[in-house]
Copies of this chain bind each other. A is one copy, B any other.
Amino acid sequence: MLTQSLNTSISSTKAVPFAKPDQFCALTGHAGLVATEFSYRKDEEIYGEDELAEYVYQVIRGAVRTYKLLSDGRRQIGAFLLPGDVFGLESGTSHRLTAEAVIDTTVRLVKRSSLEQAAGVDVQVGRKLWCITAGELRHAENHMLLLGCKNAMERVASFLLEMDHRLAGTGMMALPMCRKDIGDYLGLTLETVSRALSQLHSDGVLGFSGARQIVLRNRQHLRNMDA
């Protein structure tokens, strides 16, 4: 690993193209850390489960999935990471999920040890790390509710609203992941995901232009069926 396009740069505090405050810059800007850019091909592993957590990452371009596997290959995707999202942050020593690029992806990364050091000096850095983990926990708690209680259509509606919120907000949404990934995220098979999307299409709730180019025509309808 780490054998591709390396593009080191000093703590890039220049404006980044995200609406929300940039979590990564809030960290690196604070302490003047060195951030490196790195790229991964579609389906390439970024880190493995139980591997030593040496870096913390932020998606610049592309998309990342994190997941756990059972011994027989059943897979639960814990999260999709999109541009701006931070991932790979651990308070312990090793990663608890595997991370892979969903499509060709560029990330920024900093050494975990630098962050630890910065957190030892500045309590605000420590606080920020805590908040990032707490955000992941909030997402996981919502997702447990989905996996434990919701039916197939409710799950797909939740997924579309989540992606709409994080990807587009306006008009067209370009999903980076395939139906199998969506199924493994929602605890459904790819066929069930496909059927739910087809039904929403024929109900006029959404439009397609290519299987992964979706435009939501009736967000309120989706919110209603999300339960």
| A interface with B by C-beta (< 8 Å) | 68, 70-72, 74-76, 78, 90-92, 96-97, 119-120, 123, 126-127, 129-131, 133-134, 136-138, 140-145, 147-150, 184, 186-187, 227
User: Which of A71, A92, A141 has the largest count of B CB atoms less than 10 A from its CB?
Assistant: A141
Cβ–Cβ contact A68 & B145, under 8 A: yes
Given A123-B123, A144-B143, decide whether A227 and B72 contact each other with a Cβ distance below 8 A: yes
A70-B150, A74-B149, A148-B186 given; name 11 further pairs at CB < 8 Å: A68-B142, A70-B149, A74-B227, A91-B134, A96-B141, A119-B127, A123-B123, A133-B133, A133-B134, A143-B144, A148-B184
22 contacts between A and B (CB under 8 A): A68-B144, A74-B227, A76-B148, A78-B141, A78-B144, A91-B133, A91-B134, A96-B138, A96-B141, A97-B141, A119-B126, A123-B126, A126-B130, A133-B133, A133-B134, A136-B137, A140-B144, A144-B144, A147-B187, A148-B184, A148-B187, A149-B187
Cβ–Cβ contact B148 & A147, under 8 A: yes
User: Which of A71, A136, A147, A184 has the largest count of B CB atoms less than 10 A from its CB?
Assistant: A147
Q: Which residues of B sit under 8 angstroms from A130, Cβ to Cβ?
A: 91, 126, 129-130, 133
State the main secondary structure of chain A at its contact with B: helix
